[in-house]
Amino acid sequence: MNKQSTSLPTAQDHSKSSEFWFLNPLAVLLVVLVWIAGGSLVVCLWWSANFAAKFLWAFALWAWIILSPIILSLSLCTLSIGAMFVGMIRISELLGYISTMVFRVSSTPLSWIGINLFSFPTDCYVMSLIASCKYHRAETVIRASLSEREKKCGSNDTALCGDLVSLAQTLSYIGQFNEAESCIKRSLSIKARSRKSNDYPPLHLIYYALGDIYKMALRFKDAEKSYLMAVQHCEASKVPRMESVFNISTSLYFSNLGEVYTRTGKLEEAEKCFDKAKSGYKSMATKSVTMSYLRKVGVLRVKQGRRGEAEQCIAEAVKLCEKCATGIPSEKITTLKAAALLESDKGNFARSEAMIKDALSLAERVYGLDHPEISDILDQYADLLSNQSRQDEAGNCIARSAAIKNLVEKQFSNISETEPLQP
């Protein structure tokens, strides 16, 4: 579906191998050095200990061999996530890759006692790949992880659900919505048949991912249903000791639901959703999350005619985008769209058009030529051109947008009609 030329920055995503392949020996070396450093100390202590203590130090050596790669990999994962949040995407990707390789190197001793935490470093690496818009490479990594899990756990184990959801989200970025929807259906089916109701990912997260897929495909009615299901399951699964975590999740769901209501003209419902989302966003208080919230609220304020508040929200979102998301093109695209909408509302058509053109050019490089994100930008561009009585140009935008929507619509089997959303 995507028609990306070789001149685009993301053309390298089609490569099956990572550009960090040369770091594989470094991962091996890191694990070996950690084992030697800790093992040497333990052996020295074992040698000088009495007979009874030797057993304890022997156990300590075995535990070090097992646990040190976990500690090393999780530390690298934490650094990777931190780098991603401050916009250092390249460094985040590098650390995520090394973390994944460390776990691969140490997988044999870990498997002796049945420990399998491979998904966490893989998830971190995939997150960094998606943030840098390397969707095809992320797809390759997830499919490899999913295949490995199927061999170990079978095709109906809940351990597959996390990879299925990640694969669905990644496929939606490259416009493969039919397969993305199928992955979510399969995940929901596995959850429905399983007795392991507490396994990751929880149902509310799966419905949230489904809502994001539908929202990206501009199927707002289906997105609304999915987000409402996410809220319902999140509220039903709350536990007192983790209430703050559930409140943050609910805030994310209400925020995206508010965006859907804004897009469909249900401004009162959108206002209520953003009010409910506000407390959770204050709890998270990260720049990227705050930027997303302010941008969505700013668009709502434009449509409500509250220009002063809209200008304040979007201006702050633009500043945060420049600070924390300079390496995330998808964030820049949505921020440009919001800023262009505000400028158009103020009558600054030339400035708005320049922003829309920048957003369109960047989106074509990131998503390809036939992605719904392109259609959405074209619709906004058509409105801007119509306001300037440039009907011929507006008509061209509308025609191209309609062609993209038709291509996307053909992919869907419409889960809301063929199957109930609730498993």
Q: Tens digit of pLDDT for each residue in 244-264?
A: 556 677 888 999 999 999 999
Alpha-helical regions (H) of 285-414: 287-304, 307-324, 329-345, 349-367, 372-387, 391-409
Q: Tens digit of pLDDT for each residue in 114-130?
A: 445 446 667 777 777 77
Alpha carbon distance 287, 152 (integer Å):
39
Task: Indicate the average pLDDT of the chain.
Answer: 77
Domain boundaries, the chain: 10-152, 154-253
Place of tokens 């970025």: 173
Q: Could you tell me the two tokens for 96? A: 């995520």
Alpha carbon distance 308, 306 (integer Å):
6
Listed range (84-98, 181-195, 326-340) with the worst mean pLDDT:
84-98
Q: Give the pLDDT band (50/70/90) at residue 134.
A: confident
Percent of the chain with pLDDT over 90: 38
- Res 20: pLDDT: 46
CA distances from 213 to 3, 199, 285 (A): 20, 22, 25
pLDDT above 70 (res 373):
yes
CA distances from 254 to 188, 234, 273, 291, 376 (A): 21, 11, 5, 16, 22
Topology annotation, domain 154-253: 1.25.40
The whole-number average pLDDT for the span 136-156 is 84
- Res 120: pLDDT: 62
Closest CA to 398 of 380, 420, 373, 371: 380
pLDDT above 60 (res 354):
yes
- Res 415: pLDDT: 45
Listed range (73-77, 177-181, 216-220) with the worst mean pLDDT:
73-77
Q: Which of 63-77, 99-113, 260-274 is most confident?
A: 260-274
pTM of the predicted protein model: 0.76
Alpha carbon distance 295, 304 (integer Å):
14
Alpha carbon distance 223, 231 (integer Å):
12
Is pLDDT larger for residue 185 or for residue 423? 185
The whole-number average pLDDT for the span 374-385 is 95
CA distances from 275 to 128, 278, 280, 317 (A): 30, 5, 10, 18
- Res 194: pLDDT: 75
Closest CA to 373 of 179, 216, 199: 216
Neighbours of 52 (CB within 10 A): 7
Q: Kindly give, in sequence order, each residue whose CB lies less than 8 Å from that of residue 218, ignoring residues fewer than 6 positions away.
A: 372, 375, 376, 405, 408
CA distances from 333 to 181, 305, 366, 367 (A): 24, 23, 10, 11
pLDDT above 80 (res 325):
no
